[in-house]
């Protein structure tokens, strides 16, 4: 189940925010998010445990499932679950455990991605090969985009036994390669300096492009006479890239250059103004001078939190690069469910302030204990989640102070996963057994937690505040239900048939009142009341021709 930090969420800077910070095991969180955020996430970045033996698994997950359990957990058929288990368990024990740990999380992550969405996963040599095969299974080989190499270290380690490892990988997959478009990088002065205008062409600066190619075509093998009278043949074993007719057309259009003296080997003029794409094509190697290194990431956290509270945080510039490659736009949602120190959320806010965007971030972190003698514990952080939360808060304040005119969302709403109520959901959905769960004993806070859990189950976004709606038929106490979009929830006790009848009348008489679904906590009703309310809704013929559905939920 889910619970809100109501005090935090009610603050002015947070009450209208669509950013989310969620505490809990990310597998539980992903299952909660699945309905509300299915096919709505533009970008996912995760930095999972590398399974090196030093980072460990702190998640409460033995990583061993039966096909039936995995089928239920990931929402796949049992045959698919069996195939995945066979795949993961075909590796050595350590790899098998890690793969089985990762599979359900990646599978749900795929369901959350938009058709043009993309996922980036940081990893090192230990599990890189296994991760690539697993992602081929989950996302499809055809949706592999790149295996980016991040130069995370700027100096060699002289105590390395063999090779000083200076890089990590970022594996990149898209939901649908035919829908995805890569984000290109801003052109640099160095790149633009390669373009010149040697002949004062009115179309602007250009750079020369070799006119010969290796792939031989007899139609493109012909002599060219330069303006100086020199005859030039293609290099041995090669031909021109243009047919004789195409060459003649380019020549007439002043798109062929023979050098200042008109005697050089011809080249094609490529104009900067006519490039097919805006910006520069990204390269698979991300150098630290462009995207930062590990020490830069550590310094950013240390500076913000005034101590070295987190080991190995990614630099903001690295995440900014990945957000750029994802081609995110304003209001896109970016998810990180192995949040660590919260670099992704920090980078999203910083980029929004820079370009005026309003991207949303969803940040998930387990309530993992910090090591007893760690710098984090010395600084007062009992858990990694506390570090995540504090960094996001401080980063927001810092960015706002540096960019006071930025109008983007700097707040966030906070939630956590909690166990289900005792005996709840353990009962069969029958009138003989549901009385074993005493709904009358639930506090207002517990009812709010149940409603929040139902809210995302029904596809409503987690940040949405449900609105109270009251029904007060003559002779009965006022009853308060809660509405979100076209769904109304009834969880409070003392619900009567007349309350529902008033609701049905309001549908007929109030033009702006158009609910589509009524969800009633079945435990608050007697068997007789269940039947009466079910019949009333079933037999209701409203003037608006609305298809009204009633669900008695246990």
Count other Cβ atoms within 10 Å, centred on residue 138: 21
**Nearest Cα to Cα of residue 545 among 509, 517, 513, 508:** 508
Beta pairing class for 479-484 and 467-471: antiparallel
* 3-state class (DSSP) for residue 36: helix
* Confidence at residue 430, expressed as pLDDT on a 0 to 100 scale: 47
CA atoms within 13 A on the CB side of 461: 16
Instruction: Give which of 281, 409, 430 is closest to 21, Cα–Cα.
Output: 409
Average pLDDT over residues 309-332: 92
H or E stretch including 532? helix 527-538
Q: What is the pLDDT of residue 88?
A: 66
Q: What CA–CA distance (Å, rounded) separates 158 from 458? A: 56
Span 356-363, mean pLDDT?
96
Q: Which residues pair with 471 in a beta bridge?
A: 479
Write the DSSP string, 383-395: BHHHHHHHHHHHH
pLDDT at site 156: 87
- Check whether 66 has a pLDDT greater than 80: no
Mean pLDDT, residues 491-504: 95
Higher model confidence: residue 267 or residue 546?
267
Report helix angle 78-88 to 128-139, nearest 10: 170
Predicted structure pTM score: 0.86
CA distance 308 to 472: 58
- What pLDDT shows up at residue 426? 46
pLDDT at 431 (0 to 100): 45
Q: Give CA separation, 544 vs 295, 483, 484, 485, 512, in Å.
A: 63, 19, 20, 17, 11
> What 3-state class would DSSP assign to 427?
coil
CATH number of 2-185+281-417: 3.40.50.150
DSSP for 346-407 reads: HHHHHHHHHH----EEEEEE--PBPPTTSHHHHTT--BHHHHHHHHHHHHHHHHHHH-TT--
Q: Look over the chain and give the mean of its residue pLDDT values, rounded to a whole number.
A: 90
Q: Which run of H or of E encompasses 122?
A: strand 113-123
Q: Mean pLDDT over residues 514-535, rounded?
A: 95
Range with the poorest average pLDDT among 79-93, 303-317, 456-470: 79-93
Long-range contacts of 275-283 (CB under 8 A, 24+ apart): 277/184, 278/184, 279/183, 279/184, 279/185, 279/186, 279/187, 280/184, 280/185, 280/186, 280/187, 280/188, 280/191, 281/182, 281/184, 281/185, 282/182, 282/183, 282/184, 282/185, 282/321, 282/325
**CA pair distance 393, 411, nearest whole angstrom:** 8
Collapsing DSSP to helix, strand or coil, 260 comes out as coil
211-267 tens-digit pLDDT:
999 999 999 999 999 999 999 999 998 999 999 999 999 999 999 999 999 999 999
DSSP 141: G
Is the CB of residue 140 less than 8 Å from the CB of residue 179?
no
28 band by pLDDT with thresholds 50, 70 and 90: very high
Distances (CA, A) of 110 to 135, 237, 456, 536: 10, 48, 18, 41
Going from N- to C-terminal start, the domains of the chain cover 2-185+281-417, 189-274, 434-553
**What's residue 29's pLDDT?**
97
- Per-residue pLDDT at 78: 78
Q: In terms of pLDDT, which residue wins out, 487 or 275?
A: 487
């Amino acid at each position: 189940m889910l619970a809100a930090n109501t005090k935090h969420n009610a603050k002015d800077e947070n009450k209208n925010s669509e950013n989310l910070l969620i505490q809990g095991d990310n597998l539980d969180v992903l299952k909660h998010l699945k309905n509300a955020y299915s096919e709505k996430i533009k970008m996912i970045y995760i930095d999972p445990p590398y399974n090196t033996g030093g980072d460990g698994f702190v998640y409460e997950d033995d990583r061993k499932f039966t096909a039936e359990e995995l089928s239920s957990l990931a929402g796949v058929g049992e045959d698919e679950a069996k195939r995945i288990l066979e795949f993961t368990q075909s590796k050595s024990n350590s790899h098998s455990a890690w793969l089985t740990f990762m599979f359900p999380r990646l599978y749900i992550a795929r369901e959350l991605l938009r058709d043009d969405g993309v996922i980036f996963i940081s990893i090192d040599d230990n599990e890189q090969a296994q991760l690539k095969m697993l992602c081929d299974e989950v996302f499809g080989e055809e949706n592999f985009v790149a295996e980016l190499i991040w130069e995370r270290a700027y100096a060699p380690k002289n105590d390395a036994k063999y090779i000083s490892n200076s890089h990590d990988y970022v594996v990149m997959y898209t939901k649908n390669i035919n829908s995805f478009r890569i984000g290109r990088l801003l052109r640099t002065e160095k790149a633009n300096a390669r373009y010149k205008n040697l002949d004062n062409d009115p179309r602007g600066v250009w750079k020369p492009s070799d006119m010969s190619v290796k792939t031989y075509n007899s139609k493109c093998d012909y002599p060219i006479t330069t303006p100086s009278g020199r005859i030039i043949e293609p290099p041995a074993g090669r031909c021109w890239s243009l047919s004789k007719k195409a060459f003649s057309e380019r020549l007439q259009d002043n798109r062929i250059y023979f050098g200042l003296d008109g005697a050089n080997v011809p080249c094609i003029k490529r104009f900067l103004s006519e490039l097919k794409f805006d910006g520069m094509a990204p390269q698979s190697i991300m150098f630290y001078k462009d995207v930062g290194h590990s020490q830069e990431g550590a310094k950013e956290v240390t500076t913000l939190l005034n101590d070295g509270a987190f080991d190995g945080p990614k630099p903001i510039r690295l995440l900014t690069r990945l957000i750029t490659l994802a081609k995110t736009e304003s209001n896109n949602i970016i998810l990180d469910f192995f949040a660590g120190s919260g670099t992704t959320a920090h980078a999203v806010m910083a980029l929004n302030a820079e370009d005026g965007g309003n991207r949303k971030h969803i940040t998930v972190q387990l309530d993992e204990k910090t090591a007893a003698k760690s710098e984090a514990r010395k600084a007062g952080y009992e858990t990694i989640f506390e570090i995540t939360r504090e960094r996001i808060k401080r980063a927001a304040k810092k960015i706002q102070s540096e960019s006071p005119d930025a109008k983007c969302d700097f707040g966030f709403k906070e939630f956590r996963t909690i166990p289900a109520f005792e005996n709840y959901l353990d009962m069969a959905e029958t009138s003989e057994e549901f009385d074993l769960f005493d709904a009358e004993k639930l506090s207002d806070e517990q009812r709010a937690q149940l409603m929040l859990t139902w809210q995302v189950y029904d596809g409503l976004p987690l940040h949405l505040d449900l609105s109270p709606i009251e029904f007060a038929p003559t002779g009965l106490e006022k009853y308060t239900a809660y509405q979100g979009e076209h769904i109304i929830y009834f969880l409070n006790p003392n619900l009567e048939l007349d309350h529902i009848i008033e609701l049905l009348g309001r549908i007929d008489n109030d033009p702006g009142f158009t609910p589509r679904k009524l969800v009633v906590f079945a435990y608050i009703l007697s068997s007789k009341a269940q039947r009466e309310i079910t019949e009333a809704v079933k037999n209701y013929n409203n003037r608006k021709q609305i298809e009204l559905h009633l669900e008695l939920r246990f």
